[in-house]
Amino acid sequence: MSDNVKFVFVTINGQEVVRCTPDPVDVSGVNVLINFRIVTDGWVFPETGAVTVANGGSTFPYPSWTLGPQSAGLLDTGVEKGDFSYTLALNHVASGRRVTADPSIRNQD
């Protein structure tokens, strides 16, 4: 696994509680792709806005993009160190319900 790609595995339990593993995502270096993957059946990322970073600025200069129904990407340029909160949005396929979670990304070095 390359240091330029970090994976976050997303699960949703029966009470619709979202868990991201790892949380926080520890990122070192510059221009790291964070790939979010839903591993619970029946849930997908929205076509836009799957991952939103609050006050991302030049560290997260681009919106996330949905790579596939259960995969989304976010570029972390690494220009600022510290913790960044983000909101992850998921849609339930059968009902259309949307759930969110607010984990974090920790930029190091």
What would the pLDDT profile of 23-64 be if each residue is shown by its tens digit?
A: 999 999 999 999 999 999 999 999 999 999 988 899 999 999
Predicted structure pTM score: 0.94
60 neighbors 76 (Cβ within 8 angstroms):
yes
Q: Spell out the CATH class of 5-108.
A: mainly beta
Structural domain spans, the chain: 5-108
Tokens read off for 44? 């997908």
User: Omega into 69 within 30° of 0, i.e. cis?
Assistant: no
Amino acid at site 61:
P
> What residue ranges in the chain does DSSP mark as E strands?
5-12, 18-21, 25-28, 32-38, 43-44, 51-53, 65-68, 71-76, 82-92, 98-101, 104-108
